Amino acid sequence: MTTIDSKKIFVINGSGGVGKDTFVQFVSEFYCRLTNKQVINYSSVDEIKKIAKDIGWTGSKTERDRKFLCDLKLIVSEYNDLPFAAMRGKVDAFKSSTDEDILFLHIREPEEIKRAVQEFNAITILVKRDNIPHITSNLADDRVFNYDYDIVIDNNSTEADFWFHLVLYLVISTLCFCIKFCSVICYIYRNFLYYCFCFYFHI
């Protein structure tokens, strides 16, 4: 049975088009085959998108659209904290689920990332790609790099290289979940795997 301790919550961030959703899709497909558990993908702007559609947003992602969604989220967050409250509800549902092991939270704002780390004990991931220009047309995208992330993924290599690092990380993570030795041995082994993980991801 899945326990809360085996569940992992990641905050993932990066400029538009760097491969965040592709990364989550790869994790989901591989992890589901490996463990038969689900990977959940949720954005802190999901509730804002629902409101935006009600007032005419068509779902496009132009610079104007991105600024609109950013400004709308700031207004709603200041008014009643709806985006974070909805995210907290998603986390609570995830923790109580028996068939979900990994939750990805897409968050742009550094302050909200810090809040999620403190409240959900989340691990932060930044995905970068050198040939994708940094978006500065709105406050949220402009401040993507204004946080000290736990993991930085340079998505500049081939898909095969990307798969190699992803598979390596998931195998290591799964071993961490499955190890049932005594607490001291488990602690040492987890740290060893963590250092291996850091080496391969150049952290």
Which pLDDT belongs to residue 2? Answer: 43
How far CA 82 is from CA of 6, 11, 72, 130, 166, in Å, comes to 28, 18, 11, 34, 33
Q: Residue 153: pLDDT above 70?
A: yes
45-59 pLDDT, tens per residue? 999 999 999 999 999
Q: What is the rounded CA–CA span in Å between residue 54 and residue 100?
A: 31
* pLDDT classification of 129: cutoffs 50, 70, 90: confident
pLDDT-based confidence at residue 201 (cuts at 50, 70, 90): very low
pLDDT higher than 60, residue 76: yes
pLDDT the model gives residue 130: 85
pTM for this entry? 0.77
- In angstroms, rounded to a whole number, what is the distance separating the alpha carbons of residues 68 and 200? 39
Is 40's pLDDT higher than 80?
yes
Residue 182 has pLDDT above 90, yes or no: no
Residue 203 confidence (pLDDT): 39
* Residue 180 pLDDT class (50, 70, 90 cuts): very low
Dist CA 9 CA 112 (whole Å): 15
Instruction: Give yes or no for a contact between 149 and 124, defined as CB atoms under 8 angstroms apart.
Output: yes
Higher pLDDT, residue 162 or 84: 84
**pLDDT, average across residues 127-138:** 87
Interval 79-117: pLDDT, tens: 999 999 999 999 999 999 999 999 999 999 999 999 999
Helix (H) or strand (E) holding 189: helix 183-201
Q: In the predicted model, what is the mean pLDDT of the chain?
A: 82
Query: Is pLDDT larger for residue 100 or for residue 6?
Result: 100
